[in-house]
């Protein structure tokens, strides 16, 4: 079946602009995670949804970052007033109710110039 998909695969934006990154989880998966991976680092947890609600958003670096999952399926990560330090690969993962196996999407590479 289809895996986790993320769009766009690459996004180049200017400093100060607003961006939206989309994640389509595996059908039926109730849990959805966003991570950020900088060069040479492991994925860094940002936010976790169980259904429509954010169960844990403690990893969001500041209030410029926001994520939604209005219908409990697709999620959008929104970044306002982008900064060069936001440049990274943004990864999405989903898992079923019991949640012990996470499946990752290919990521969106965000470059802020």
Partner 1 sequence: GEDVEQSLFLSVREGDSSVINCTYTDSSSTYLYWYKQEPGAGLQLLTYIFSNMDMKQDQRLTVLLNKKDKHLSLRIADTQTGDSAIYFCAEKGRDDKIIFGKGTRLHILP
Task: Catalog residues that contact partner 1 under the rule CB under 8 A.
Answer: 31, 33, 35, 40-45, 48, 50, 55-56, 58-59, 91, 93, 99-107
Alpha helix stretches (DSSP H) within the chain: none
What is the number of residues in the chain? 113
Task: Give 12 or 55: the residue with its C-beta nearer to partner 1.
Answer: 55
Nearest to 113 by CA among 15, 39, 9: 15
Distance between CA atoms of residues 90 and 34, nearest Å = 7
Task: Give 14 or 42: the residue with its C-beta nearer to partner 1.
Answer: 42
The residues facing 67 across adjacent strands are: 77
Task: Give 83 or 101: the residue with its C-beta nearer to partner 1.
Answer: 101
Shortest Å, Cβ 82 to partner 1:
23
């Amino acid at each position: 079946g289809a895996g986790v998909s993320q769009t766009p695969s690459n996004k180049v934006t200017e400093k100060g602009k607003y961006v939206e990154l989309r994640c389509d989880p595996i059908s039926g998966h109730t849990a959805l995670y966003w991570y950020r991976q900088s060069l040479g680092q492991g994925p860094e947890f940002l936010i976790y949804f169980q259904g429509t609600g954010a169960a844990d958003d403690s990893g969001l670096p500041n209030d410029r970052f926001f994520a939604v999952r209005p219908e409990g399926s697709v999620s959008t990560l929104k970044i306002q007033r982008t900064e060069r330090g936001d440049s990274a690969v943004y990864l999405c993962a989903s898992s079923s109710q019991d949640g012990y196996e996470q499946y990752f999407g290919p990521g969106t590479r965000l470059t802020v110039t």
